Structure 1
Amino acid sequence: MPEKTRRTVRDLRRGNRSTLLRRLYFDGPLTRQELSAQTGLSQASVSNVVAELLDIGVIIEAGSVESDGGRPRILLKTAPGHGHLVGVDVGETRVLVELFDLELTPLAKADLPLGDGGHDVRAVVEHILSGLRTVITESGVDSATVIGVGVGVPGTVAHTPEYVVHCQTIGWEAVPLEQMLRAGTDRHEGTSLPLFVDNGATALGQAEMWFGAGRGARNAVVALIGSGIGACVVVDGAPYRGSAGSAGEWGHTKAQVGGNLCRCGARGCLEAYVGATALLERYRAAGGTASTGEEPALAQLLADPAPLAAEIRTEIVAYLGTGIAGLVNLFSPEKIIIGGWAGLLIGNQMLDLIRDAAAGNALRQPFAQTSVELCRLGPEAVAVGAATLPLAHLLDNGGTVEGREQAAGPARTPVAAGPPALPWTRA
């Protein structure tokens, strides 16, 4: 029989704080009476918990509303300046570091190109530590107010107990990223700030489920299309990770048996047909004069009237539509949300054609229940999603920043935003 878990009074109080804080974060400002009605907690419990949250400083009073015949009721909301969050996107061509307040308002940014060294892990660590110092210095915030640093990376993230990254496509095998960020480099001192590392597509998925196109959905797939391809699969409000934590590698499902060589070393992967790197390789090989830099080069390919570019665009529609149809047939999601800088460039020009191609390859009944749309948080949403990793830890702990070891392990708490959904955390 499964072992029973005994909840202490401390656990109960923290759970109540977490419940109210989440409600205020996603739906505030609210009155104490509204919090009681929406959470099912008694008014006495709400009053006690609100007093604790006000004392911590994680919520503030935000005006009042008239009541029927009584005193005005005080509105409550989360305090944007209570703490700060850092989101890091380890992308294909750059490392983006952003600093946010508690409501995810951007305060400072460092955009650091990877250069010829590519994903040499020491260069990536240098960029993360350099960017972290830059955003804290430029914003003028006290580093003691930084709740945590979230890092979105390609590949699979294992917690053993520290964060270790495996990414075949960039040559990372059991990279001890957390250990390296703690140790620092010859040029930059290591960080002692709380660290939270996850797959970049999963981080993007969390942000879109909380604040973007996925809000309110319980079953969705959030696709990240850049130089490569990944996805966050959300099933019944929670991310599906599989037994090894590597679920969502949509880019390495097969689009063609024995087809084009993929960066992972296999042939015929979807990424080898729709990832920006593969698209631009085909464009240049066919005689296209692509611009320097992947983003302007892909924009040029999508606008080029030449027959060779038109043929590649036709292939994009066919392969991406077929890949989306596979997601529909496998998961029957409410939404498939396309994001990433390349996904948004492609989708803004060809989304209707891609939908039609998906419809022609998917089973009719599940496709009729699925919407295919674009991410709403823009091309830099991975950094926003990475910042939600420490934010989720704060919400899960009811407004206090406890040791990350208490939040270790794969994320299991639901991610879909809106009642009655809760943020997913590392609990």
Structure 2
Amino acid sequence: MNPVRRGQWQTAAEIVRLMSRRPAITRTAVARELRLSTSSATEVTSKLRELKLLSETPAPIQGRGRPTTVLHAHPEGPLALALDLRQSEWRSVVVGLDGSFMSHDDRRHRTRRPEVVLGDLRDAVQQTQEQYGHRLRAVSLAVPGTLRDNRLLQASVSEWAELDLDNITADTGLALLTGNDATLGGVAEARSGAAVGAGTALHLIIEAGIGGTLIVGGAPVQGASGAAGEFGHTPFGDRTRLCPCGAHGCWNLEVDGRALAHHLQEPEPDDPHLYAMEILRRTDLAATKAVARVVAAIAAGVAGLVNAHDPDVVTLGGLAVPLRAAAVRVFDDTYMAGIMTFRRNTAPPVLAAVHRADGSLRGAAALALDHLTTEVAIATWAAEDKSVATVG
């Protein structure tokens, strides 16, 4: 099926995209932002209602002027399933076109064997499709590892390597969109978190290792093959130590629960996140010193990336937030000492991420909504209702 000529659905797609990125936006604000006349905005939103792509409710009256409406996702409109795969659990949420979360589910892994984990995700996709039918249009997945063409090349969990993620949506006809969890966390901060309005933002998250993304103009820098943002594999660490990735001296080895165990001469933890939280609750001198060493390693690396990328703001997620809070002075002193002299008066602020608990999931939802609000996606949905005329 060829449902769209180029530009045929441009205005409709722009309106739906604005609704997805700006929850509770009014029709008046849409017309102003897209430079549409009042009559054009009214006409197009009316057609979009007929297409079950949006609904409208009266906006609260604020001062003088004509009444307007607030745009929402239509209760029978397109949906996406966002999934967030983590070391010990996976989470899912059904997302409406206005970014609203319709349902939310958290489940711990029965085992970390990849075939079981991917099988559980596939079951979740099939169950969601059975529940919502044709309304489910795409699946978006955040994963803790390096991706290329829907293949997980390597991950913080050693068993999860060289995995074909397309199996998750096999036989469903649904588009599968994948992204690194740290990258998608950065997208969430740029869209609705601590980096809103920043032209260039650096986002870093620590779980098992450290990852992140550089956001420029609201979009993550993907690199030549889509694998950019592997900041944990920069050589900011001890060059005598071999990282599971195959490189020596990776920053990853200095910044998480594994690093704390190394400094404390304890066995490497099975779950670096839980182990780090346990160490942070300790008050003995050995734990305090180990935390300070890890925080200094984090801050020094952040300074190096600031010197390299010149961001407006740095946002931190995951374990980076409680680790920094446990040794604020160490972080601040090390960060400023690593900043080039000419930058120090205007060094970018380092802020805690707003979406610390669900940043990757919100980023996966944003990735799905970007897909569902393209001209082709809007036209494909509209083609299922032949009675509705084209909107321009």
TM interval, shorter chain, is: 0.7 to 0.9
Counterpart residue type for residue 14 of structure 1: W
Q: Are residues 132 and 28 of structure 1, via their aligned partners in 2, closer, same or farther at CA, if it must alter by over 3 Å?
A: closer
TM-score, normalised via structure 1 length: 0.77
2:255 is the alignment partner of 1:255: no
Counterpart-to-counterpart distance in 2, 1:402 and 1:48? 20
Counterpart-to-counterpart distance in 2, 1:200 and 1:38? 31
2:367 is the alignment partner of 1:389: yes
1:112 — aligned with what? 108
1:349 — aligned with what? 326
Q: Deviations over 1:273-314 (max 9, x none)?
A: 10333433544x2489x8x85444212211212222112111
1:237 — aligned with what? 218
Q: Are residues 287 and 12 of structure 1, via their aligned partners in 2, closer, same or farther at CA, if it must alter by over 3 Å?
A: closer
2:140 is the alignment partner of 1:153: no
Counterpart-to-counterpart distance in 1, 2:225 and 2:267? 42
How far apart are 1:68 and its partner, in Å? 8.9
**Aligned positions of 1:159-308 closer than 5 A:** 159=149, 163-167=150-154, 170=158, 174-178=162-166, 180-183=167-170, 191-283=172-264, 285-286=265-266, 293-308=271-286
Any runs of at least 4 consecutive aligned residues in structure 1 with deviations exceeding 6 A, and if so which?
67-70
Counterpart-to-counterpart distance in 1, 2:312 and 2:349? 6
2:120 is the alignment partner of 1:127: yes
Q: Percent identity?
A: 23
**Aligned positions of 1:47-62 closer than 5 A:** 47-62=42-57
Q: Secondary structure at the match of 1:300?
A: helix
Q: Deviations over 1:357-412 (max 9, x none)?
A: 21111124435241101111132321222122211112233872749xxxxxxxxx
Counterpart-to-counterpart distance in 1, 2:159 and 2:272? 20
Select 2:134's aligned residue among 144, 151, 154: 144
Q: Which runs of 5+ in 1 are unaligned?
A: 1-7, 184-189, 404-427
Q: Deviations over 1:39-85 (max 9, x none)?
A: 22344432332222222222222214669987x42313122633433
Counterpart-to-counterpart distance in 2, 1:94 and 1:64? 40
1:423 — aligned with what? none
Counterpart residue type for residue 147 of structure 1: R
2:53 is the alignment partner of 1:76: no
Counterpart-to-counterpart distance in 2, 1:277 and 1:211? 32
Q: Secondary structure at the match of 2:6?
A: helix
Q: Deviations over 1:202-234 (max 9, x none)?
A: 211111211211111120111121012111111
Q: Are residues 352 and 210 of structure 1, via their aligned partners in 2, closer, same or farther at CA, if it must alter by over 3 Å?
A: farther
How far apart are 1:141 and its partner, in Å? 4.5
2:15 — aligned with what? 20
Counterpart residue type for residue 100 of structure 2: L
Counterpart residue type for residue 143 of structure 2: V
Counterpart-to-counterpart distance in 2, 1:76 and 1:37? 14
Q: Which runs of 5+ in 2 are unaligned?
A: 382-392
C-alpha contact 1:95 1:111 (8 A) present in aligned 2: yes
Q: Secondary structure at the match of 2:378?
A: coil
1:338 — aligned with what? 316
C-alpha contact 1:100 1:108 (8 A) present in aligned 2: no
Q: Secondary structure at the match of 1:11?
A: coil
Select 2:92's aligned residue among 94, 97, 107: 97
More moved, 358-367 vs 371-380: 358-367
More moved, 60-69 vs 145-154: 60-69
> CA RMSD, aligned part only?
3.1
Q: Are residues 351 and 143 of structure 1, via their aligned partners in 2, closer, same or farther at CA, if it must alter by over 3 Å?
A: farther
